[in-house]
Amino acid sequence: MTPEPLVSVIIPALNAASVIGETLASCLKQTWANLEIIVVDNGSNDGTLDVVHSLGAPSIRIYECARQGASAARNFGMSRSKGDYIQYLDADDVLSSSKIETQLMRLRNQDGRSIASGPWIRFEKIISEKEIAPEAVWCDIDPQDFLIRSWTGGGMMRSWLGATWRCVTNKRLLAWHGLWCGPF
């Protein structure tokens, strides 16, 4: 029996003490058990690392790097990751508990050149699934149709690199794509 693929969740953090606990809790509650969570502290001075250490979760690996921006922190985390798949996540975002498992099931029979994204919402309060209205781009489509639907009003799906938390991506595809650049 083939072991389940390892997913590396890479989280750059800068002064995220007030939010990173909830973010990490959403990672630790994933139904996909084969996870490594990599937090790359980017020079925090607000106790972010104290919050991460207080969780004491063996699946969380903590690194510190010089403050060069979130892109550099993501690249640093990627270089330390052991996963077959990568889930980038910002320090103030949360995942539904089955997000990674659902997306990996969609990727299971793909050729390694696909990404799995899904619905997302911006929220400041608890949102029920009944309040989430599906959009035309929330389906399996080829990249060209995805872009056409997005550009012609078929949904609010942002670029997959701009919305780091939405996608689970094969690590080989990310290596082919190249490093993150810029301060974001």
Pair 128, 56: CB distance under 8 Å: no
User: 27-36, 61-70, 98-107, 117-126: which has the minimum mean pLDDT?
Assistant: 117-126
Greater pLDDT, 70 or 62: 62
Greater pLDDT, 145 or 163: 145
Cβ neighbours of residue 74 under 8 Å, at least 6 residues apart?
10, 12, 40, 88, 164, 180
User: Can you list the positions of beta strands (E) in 24-174?
Assistant: 35-41, 60-64, 85-88, 115-116, 168-170
* pLDDT given for residue 179 in this prediction: 56
Greater pLDDT, 156 or 37: 37
pLDDT of residue 163 exceeding 50, the answer is no
The CA distances from residue 121 to 45, 113, 125, in Å, are: 30, 26, 11
* pLDDT given for residue 36 in this prediction: 97
- Taking the C-alpha atoms of residue 22 and residue 173, their distance in angstroms, rounded to an integer, is 29
Each residue's pLDDT tens digit, 73-83: 988 998 999 99
pTM to 2 decimals? 0.77
* pLDDT given for residue 146 in this prediction: 66
Q: What confidence category does residue 158 fall into, taking pLDDT thresholds of 50, 70 and 90? A: very low
* pLDDT given for residue 164 in this prediction: 45
- Taking the C-alpha atoms of residue 63 and residue 77, their distance in angstroms, rounded to an integer, is 8
Each residue's pLDDT tens digit, 14-31: 999 999 999 999 999 999
pLDDT of residue 125 exceeding 60, the answer is no
- Taking the C-alpha atoms of residue 71 and residue 88, their distance in angstroms, rounded to an integer, is 11
pLDDT of residue 98 exceeding 70, the answer is yes
- Taking the C-alpha atoms of residue 118 and residue 129, their distance in angstroms, rounded to an integer, is 13
- Taking the C-alpha atoms of residue 139 and residue 23, their distance in angstroms, rounded to an integer, is 26
Give me the chain's average pLDDT, please.
78
Q: What confidence category does residue 159 fall into, taking pLDDT thresholds of 50, 70 and 90? A: very low
* pLDDT given for residue 67 in this prediction: 74
Greater pLDDT, 165 or 99: 99
| Percentage of the chain exceeding pLDDT 90 | 41
